[in-house]
Amino acid sequence: MGNRQRQPEVAGVFYPADPKALKQQLEGFLSGLQPTLRQPPKALIAPHAGYAYSGAVAAHAYIELLPLRHQVERVVLLAPAHRLAFSGIAYSQADSFLTPLGAIPIAKTSLESLDDLPQVQALEQAFNDEHSVEVQLPFLQLLLEHFQLLPLLVGQSTPEAVSAVLERLWGGDETRIVISSDLSHFLDYSSAQAFDLRTAAAIEALDYERLDYHSACGRIAISGLLHSARQRDGIQVTRLDLRNSGDSAIGNRDQVVGYGAFALG
């Protein structure tokens, strides 16, 4: 068993570094929420901003995992790369990812199953100072009992290339997929509301061709998920929440970032 731990990059900035305070904040977001879907989802789309801005929206996605607490053994997490420009899809060579709530083991066997895909590469520096994977992890740790993680950062790629990775990793009831993404960036409040409504409608329709660079920072990962969903009968996307940073107590409304929570299943 390896012991290369990936240390948290944004604890104390995007979310509390103190484990007790972090757990209390997460429980506060989840308090009063219940799963709303008849069947637990195969995949979630959740935002990745600081918890003060987007944590309440993310909670509407993650509460849907509650019935799967003892069932999920593997979470495949795809997130956009903000800090490093590269082609393809990157993974870390760490054996575990650490948060204030503890270490999450990496699904090494699953990672090895991607060895022959040319779009997938080891690129440790892509994870340096990157928040898009990390902010999802405490929610998963709180809601799931025991699971392995396969975190992937999506650089310059295509929906087809992402979908090919997801097809390898789709698995069965033991596997769930999380796509980390915010929506529009730096529009005024009312413009963002209208823009994000159009994006949400495209996601719900599995119509990833309608998504563009301005729709979502995780557009390519979302598009790959929707591409895979089209190949399967009966999959639907449900919008669970749609807000922006202007709806939070600390957000101004001149320039906002959009946040959506969606479930696919």
3 pLDDT band (50/70/90 cuts)? confident
User: pLDDT tens across 31-52, in order?
Assistant: 999 999 999 999 999 999 999 9
Per-residue pLDDT tens over the stretch 193-210? 999 999 999 999 999 999
Mean pLDDT, the chain, rounded, equals: 97
Mean pLDDT of 113-125: 98
130: pLDDT confidence band, cut at 50, 70 and 90? very high
Q: Please tell me the predicted confidence (pLDDT) of residue 249.
A: 83
Domains of the chain: 39-264 (3.40.830.10)
Tell me what percent of the residues of the chain surpass a pLDDT of 70.
99
β-strand pairing of 185-187 with 256-264? antiparallel
The pTM for the full model equals 0.97
Round to whole Å and give the CA distance between 97 and 183. Answer: 26
Q: Is the pLDDT of residue 17 over 70?
A: yes
What DSSP string describes 182-242?
A: ---EEE-HHHHHHHHHHHHHHHHTT-GGG--TTT-TTHHHHHHHHHHHHTSTT--EEEEEE
Which residue has 């949400």 as its token pair? 200
Q: Is the pLDDT of residue 255 over 90?
A: yes
Average pLDDT over residues 122-127: 98
pLDDT of 2 > 70? The answer is no
